[in-house]
Amino acid sequence: MRPAESDRSARHRVRQPPEDDAVGRLPRRAQGCYGAAPKPAAPRGRRKATMPMPKPDPKMQWNVGYWLLAMFALFTLQSLWQARTVEPVPYSEFEKALAAGRVSEVVIGENTITGKLKTPEAGKTVIVATLVDPALAERLSKFNVEYSRVVESTWLRDLMSWVLPALVFFGLWYFFVRRMAEKAGGLGGFMSIGKSRAKVYVETDTGVTFADVAGVDEAKAELQEIVAFLKDPQGYGRLGAHMPKGILLVGPPGTGKTLLAKAVAGEAGVPFFSISGSEFVEMFVGVGAARVRDLFEQARAKAPAIIFIDELDALGRARGAGGVVGGHDEREQTLQQLLVELDGFDSSSGLVLLAATNRPEILDPALLRAGRFDRQVLVDRPDKTGRVQILQVHAKKIRLAEGLDLAQVAALTTGFSGADLANLCNEAALAATRRGAQQVSLADFTVAVERIVAGLEKKNRLLNPHEREVVAFHEMGHALVALALPGSDAVHKVSIIPRGIGALGYTIQRPTEDRFLMTREELERKIMVLLGGRASEKLVFGHLSTGAADDLAKATDIARDMVTRYGMDEGLGYVAYEQQPPRFLDVPGMAAPAGSPVSPQTQQHIDTAVRGIVMGAFEGATRILAQHRAVLDRAAHELLAKETLDEAALAALTAGVRPAG
């Protein structure tokens, strides 16, 4: 028999775990809800640090002062040379020189006239005069006076009209465009498009050590080898061993994969390059490959160092998985460059590659072969002992009540990940703050669990009396069937207070222990508990409602898995007709890989077997409720009066209920 995963509740869909799966999955809603409730997302944070900009080389800097001084010296020398050979004269003197025949050559400009003397006079070979209107010059020559023309200088006007707008434009570019580019890309937007965007941490920046990581002792022991190698590469390889080139951390979301990678960097005290797989992909072809090359070049320059690629599945998806796209696909080019870099560096240099993903089944096989990612480390959801250790880490940040046993809290949180437990501690502290308490008690943790599992209470959602009665009998049907069946999880609370988005009531079951295997009988009992609400409605009111939609979907999924995946139907044989769904991402609507095609006759047999399991469970639940009808009525009316019944109240109301044979 293949192992079946345990759920935190009796009516959560059963998924097939791997052989090394540590615990069941966190449910998305309260089990047995009259309606549906969403699962809150697990928080995930990351502390970022920007890579410092490289300082420009002083040898390559141009000194503007030197250039201005050189230009001034050049103009000065030119002026001195002109002053030695050229003599400015009034226009009347220039006319006399022409009349006397002292000028051999004349050059007329726009505003000046230049004459070359036949013989030098006082060391001057050229005379220059400003042009005067010929008519005016002829009139003035009659009076035998010296006359000349002065041309007004327009250099200031030219400077204002040409130079000043250029300076304004350059100033705007420098203060706005360049600064925005530097913020966007380090050395400037478009010019740094092929640069790696990895965040660089040093030992003091990570702030995380192995003391901050709990509940994953096996994974921590695997990664301690990396720390030992980075601290003493020569001593570690004295027997010829070498570190794996790449280590892949796999596991569900929120289990601490990124935290473990940062802890490795914090313990080893080496530079830590952190980047997400999606940051390699851009709209320009070849950018991703260029960033991969730049990342490894930066890491080699700072070796020993650690490169951490988070969400590797965004970069390393199997080639050709999305259809035939050709060999020039940008994502494939980036992946190929990563494969080349993995083959090109030597782990003995002190460069270690870490990566994390929660979808290892879609990674390219070439990425996972020996010599690239040599080792895969499972970071799974913690068991009860691991949850206690994680709660102890997070409980240091809050004020706990005296005598609070965290083992009791761990018993309520089967299937919670590390991120879920961190959120649980925060929600419990908020609940204690809202009621004005000075310490966080077990009741606050219980309220936090209910809020995470079932959603926020909607006390202002008013139902008419008939709907409240239907909901009360529906939820008591779940609870009574669970109490009557042997081996079922204990019923923790029943309530008809609406929670979440669409849940009008809920029944919370608390597993007594972590489960790794489930038999056909246990799965059938889970389906009976799921259908207890529908059976109660039909038994008491004689009609069916829409409130059991979520229960029916879960029951059908379990029955279909029993037939198509677990081989629990004798008529179909021990054959798997569907493949294993994603191991770590239990997302509603995410289809499993297509299994082997079946014939129409086999498909009809599958449908008949699934229907037979579901209807048989419904009839069994109906018999249990009919046998304990008096208890059902009494407990339902008590639930209508109090709206919430805890474990002690349920035990008192159902004292006469015994497990059915």
The answer to whether the peptide bond before residue 88 is cis (omega within 30 degrees of 0) is no
CA distances from 447 to 124, 131, 352 (A): 106, 101, 44
Tokens for 286? 């070849």
Helices (H) and strands (E) in the chain, counts: 24, 13
d(CA 520, CA 578): 18
Region for 101 from its dihedrals, namely left if φ exceeds 0, alpha if ψ lies in -120 to 50, beta otherwise? left
d(CA 147, CA 149): 7
Tokens for 560? 């279909």
Long-range contacts of 373-376 (CB under 8 A, 24+ apart): 373/244, 373/245, 373/246, 373/247, 373/248, 373/342, 374/244, 374/245, 374/246, 374/247, 375/222, 375/244, 375/246, 375/247, 375/248, 376/247, 376/248, 376/250
Name the nearest CA neighbour of 202 among 52, 315, 92, 96: 52
Asked whether the CA dihedral 629, 633, 634, 639 is positive or negative, the reply is positive
Tokens for 642? 């109090």
How many CA atoms, within 13 angstroms, populate the side-chain half-sphere of residue 624? 33
Question: Three-state DSSP class for 374?
Answer: strand
Q: Which residues pair with 305 in a beta bridge?
A: 351
Strands 124-130 and 199-201: unpaired
d(CA 489, CA 519): 15
Label each residue of 31-77 as H, E or C.
CCCCCCCCCCCCCCCCCCCCCCCCCCCHHHCCCHHHHHHHHHHHHHH
Identified catalytic residue from 5, 95, 427, 475: 475
**Token pair 């080792």: residue:** 375
**Residue 643 annotated to the active site:** no
Q: Please give the backbone phi and psi of residue 578, each rounded to the nearest 5 degrees, phi first.
A: -135, 150
Q: Quick count: other Cβ atoms within 10 Å of Cβ 539? A: 17
**Token pair 């794996």: residue:** 244
Please report the beta strands in 199-257, taking only residues with DSSP state E, as ranges in sequence order.
199-201, 246-250
d(CA 550, CA 192): 51
**Token pair 């809603």: residue:** 29
Strands 490-495 and 644-646: antiparallel
The residues that are catalytic are: 475
